[in-house]
Amino acid sequence: MAQREVVAVDIGGTHARFAIARLSEDGSIQLEEPETLHTEDHASFQTAWEEFQDRKGGTLPKAVSMAIAGPVGGDVIRFTNNPWVIRPALVTSKLGVERFTIVNDFEAVAHAVARAPDDQFLHLTGPEGPLPEEGRISVIGPGTGLGVAHLYRDADHYQVQATEGGHVDFAPLDQIEDAILARLRKRHNRVSVERVVSGPAIVDIYQTLAAMEKKAVTERDDVDLWTSGTSGEDSLAAAAVDRFCLSLGSVAGDLALAQGGFGGVVIAGGLGYRIRETLVGSGFAERFRAKGRFESLMASIPVKLITHPQPGLFGAAAAFQRQHEG
């Protein structure tokens, strides 16, 4: 079976991940083992590309698909959390490729959701069984920020739409979330859901809970809090993780209602995968359903977590395949 090779790249604020993807005529995609580079170690995407090229013996396929953390339109693409820029008009000459695709990073994740096999999804709540072949699916990914996209598919077609759903207003449901909102309002006049449902948000959640219990706590970063909270070694950090799961359930349900994601909801991203066991046993499902008159509708929506180890790279390859070979 004939195959085409493309370099898939997933570029965030801290890391740039590269992998050779093989695209088969039957639509299947195979990824080689990824290589991860630190963005701070490279002056530009081109120098990072050259480093990957050296690691691969000096030769790369003549095609690239990039998933980028930031807006992808315009003559100059700037990243949200690193100083690199990409000028699409110069991609072929700078990288020595003949064809390329550039998509938003979470748009790539939605492509991965559309293409990943059923065994790469973990069931969280709602009806069990595979995601439906037809309908709209909301895709939500807590990480450094909150990625949101959706896709619509029928039996032989799908369409992905990236959004900025992570920036809708946060709506507290109880006194603890009122206190979290009050803390955040001291720094942000408008508090979006990304301020509460993202990796760094665990710090504000933890500090709010500590203040409610009148506990003096030392400054701790989000990595430390996620580690001690998910392991259970720190009860207050564990409570903050549980609170995060509740808020994630509420936000996921709100976004499904807003997007019409009644075919399913998929939680994506490294943080979602890291807390997958906590999510299953938390109040996530109850909060997802808690939409008043629409509770029965919410209970009918399957909610999954994608477990593909590299959804950004896999999705970037799928986006290239769809653009150039679909």
Q: For the segment 195-205, what is each residue's pLDDT rounded down to a tens digit?
A: 999 999 999 99
Q: Region 44-52: what's the mean pLDDT?
A: 96
pTM for the whole structure: 0.90
Task: Find out whether 13 is annotated in a ligand binding site.
Answer: yes
- What contacts 129, CB < 8 A, 6 or more positions away? 302
Task: Find out whether 222 is annotated in a ligand binding site.
Answer: no
> Taking Cα atoms as reference points, which of 20, 104, 26 lies closest to residue 325?
26
Contact yes or no for 305/128 (Cβ under 8 A):
no
Position 296 pLDDT exceeds 90: yes
- Residue 81's pLDDT is 72
- Residue 143's pLDDT is 87
Both tokens of 47, joined, read 């120098």
Cα(125)–Cα(109) distance, integer angstroms: 21
pLDDT band at residue 303, thresholds of 50, 70 and 90?
A: very high
Region(s) of the chain under CATH 3.30.420.40 = 3-116+309-325
- Residue 25's pLDDT is 83
What one-letter code names the amino acid at 22? R
Cα(298)–Cα(295) distance, integer angstroms: 5
Longest dimension (CA), the chain: 66
Cα(54)–Cα(7) distance, integer angstroms: 14
What is 3-116+309-325's CATH superfamily?
ATPase, nucleotide binding domain (3.30.420.40)
% of the chain beyond a pLDDT of 70 = 99
Query: φ, ψ for residue 104 (rounded to 5)?
Result: -60, 145
> Taking Cα atoms as reference points, which of 283, 300, 315 lies closest to residue 147?
315
Cα(275)–Cα(247) distance, integer angstroms: 14
Mean pLDDT of the chain: 93
- Residue 306's pLDDT is 96
Query: φ, ψ for residue 63 (rounded to 5)?
Result: -150, 145
Q: Region 96-115: what's the mean pLDDT?
A: 94
- Residue 234's pLDDT is 94
- Residue 116's pLDDT is 93
Contact yes or no for 162/187 (Cβ under 8 A):
no
Condensed to tens digits (0 to 9), the pLDDT of residues 266-284 reads: 999 888 888 988 999 999 9
Task: Find out whether 11 is annotated in a ligand binding site.
Answer: yes
Condensed to tens digits (0 to 9), the pLDDT of residues 15-29 reads: 899 999 999 888 899
Considering the four listed CATH numbers 3.50.30.40, 3.30.450.40, 3.40.367.20, 3.30.470.20, the one that applies to the domain covering 165-306 is 3.40.367.20
Both tokens of 25, joined, read 């005529």
- Residue 155's pLDDT is 77
pLDDT band at residue 69, thresholds of 50, 70 and 90?
A: confident
159-166 CB contacts, 8 Å cutoff, 24+ apart: 160/107, 160/110, 160/111, 160/114, 160/319, 161/107, 161/110, 162/103, 162/104, 162/106, 162/107, 162/110, 163/259, 165/140, 165/193, 165/255, 165/258, 165/259, 166/192, 166/193, 166/194, 166/197, 166/198
Region(s) of the chain under CATH 3.40.367.20 = 165-306
- Residue 326's pLDDT is 57
